Structure 1
Amino acid sequence: MLKKNEMEIQFASQSVNEGLARTAVSAFFSQLDPTVETLYDIKMAVSEAVTNCIIHAYEGNGEGKITIKCAYEDDTISVEIIDQGKGIADVEEAMTALYTTSDDEDRAGLGFTVMQSMMDEVFVESKVGEGTSVKMKKSLGN
């Protein structure tokens, strides 16, 4: 039997909403009865992507919107995090471990590295001045 489902949510780019993003995505994919480890990986990847939107795309101003689209078909889940922020000039450079545009010393520049380690595929599209889309996939292996 083919299993298909999808959802979409949108919220303000405020750090308080990072937990909302993790919880909503976790609840959606819990229908598939993933392992605790797999669910943790998905939540961490979503958290990193949302944090990137808040800190980098909107520079923490809390005024932008973040959209999350989730879907699954059979045993493959997909998550897309979208912002209409400032965009990334060089996606390849931005995905390099330890690269950050933030002056905040608490930022390690590992967001994309964490996403790549938690998910099977991570694809980033960005246009300066228009925003960024981070698409991630993971097989549940069921």
Structure 2
Amino acid sequence: MKENTNEMILVFDSIPVNEGLARVTAASFCTQLNPTLEEVADLKTAVSEAVTNCIIHGYEGKINKIEMKLQYHGNELYVHITDYGIGITDIEKAMEPMYTSKPDHERSGMGFTFMEAFMDEIRVESQPGKGTTVHMKKTIGRKR
């Protein structure tokens, strides 16, 4: 019997209104795995944080493209969110709670912390001047 798999890619402009589009798209895709409401809420929060980071930090408010790839294999959901912006010079530092590269903005520096809290795994790849990809994984249906 073939394993339950699917994937999709959504490419959208780095404008704030599209953060909501990314959240809803990820939630809709996830419903194929029959998630709990809590699992959907966790996913939406993590996606929101990753996309917001692309808009504010990756492109510094300039309009460019964000790519969100969603996949599942069995009950494992994978989310990959990529920008082609300025990149992160020190990933470890950027992932520290309360760290922000924009202290003059009304941001708390908790984006990566929230992603880590709501997803099972998170990995960040980045090259200065080339962009950043956040890879996240969540097992759906584990608590049932």
Q: TM class by shorter-chain length?
A: over 0.9
- Which residue of 1 is the match for residue 97 of structure 2? 97
| Alpha-carbon distance in 1 for matches of 2:96, 2:72 | 28
- Which residue of 1 is the match for residue 135 of structure 2? 135
- Which residue of 2 is the match for residue 83 of structure 1? 83
- Pairwise CA RMSD of aligned residues? 1.0
| Alpha-carbon distance in 1 for matches of 2:130, 2:88 | 9
| Alpha-carbon distance in 2 for matches of 1:9, 1:104 | 31
| Alpha-carbon distance in 1 for matches of 2:14, 2:138 | 25
Q: Secondary structure at the match of 2:109?
A: coil
**Unpaired stretches in structure 2, ≥5 consecutive residues:** none
Q: Deviations over 1:39-98 (max 9, x none)?
A: 10000000000000000000112x210000000011100000000000000000000000
1:101-112 to 2 correspondence within 5 Å? 101-112=101-112
- Which residue of 2 is the match for residue 64 of structure 1? 64
Q: Deviations over 1:12-56 (max 9, x none)?
A: 000010010001111111111100000100000000000000000
Q: Secondary structure at the match of 2:115?
A: helix
Task: Write the letter of the residue equivalent to 2:136.
Answer: M
- Which residue of 2 is the match for residue 50 of structure 1? 51
Paired-residue identity, %: 51
Taking structure 1 as the reference length, what is the TM-score of the superposition?
0.96
| Alpha-carbon distance in 2 for matches of 1:137, 1:44 | 13
| Alpha-carbon distance in 1 for matches of 2:84, 2:102 | 18
| In the alignment, structure 1 residue 119 sits paired with structure 2 residue 119 | yes
| Alpha-carbon distance in 1 for matches of 2:120, 2:29 | 19
Taking structure 2 as the reference length, what is the TM-score of the superposition?
0.95
Q: Which moved more, 1:71-80 or 1:99-108?
A: 99-108
- Which residue of 2 is the match for residue 31 of structure 1? 32
- Which residue of 2 is the match for residue 3 of structure 1? 4
Shift, 1:103, TM fit: 3.4
| Alpha-carbon distance in 1 for matches of 2:30, 2:48 | 15
Q: Secondary structure at the match of 1:46?
A: helix
Runs of 4+ in structure 1 deviating by more than 6 angstroms, as ranges, are none
Q: Which moved more, 1:124-133 or 1:22-31?
A: 22-31
**Unpaired stretches in structure 1, ≥5 consecutive residues:** none
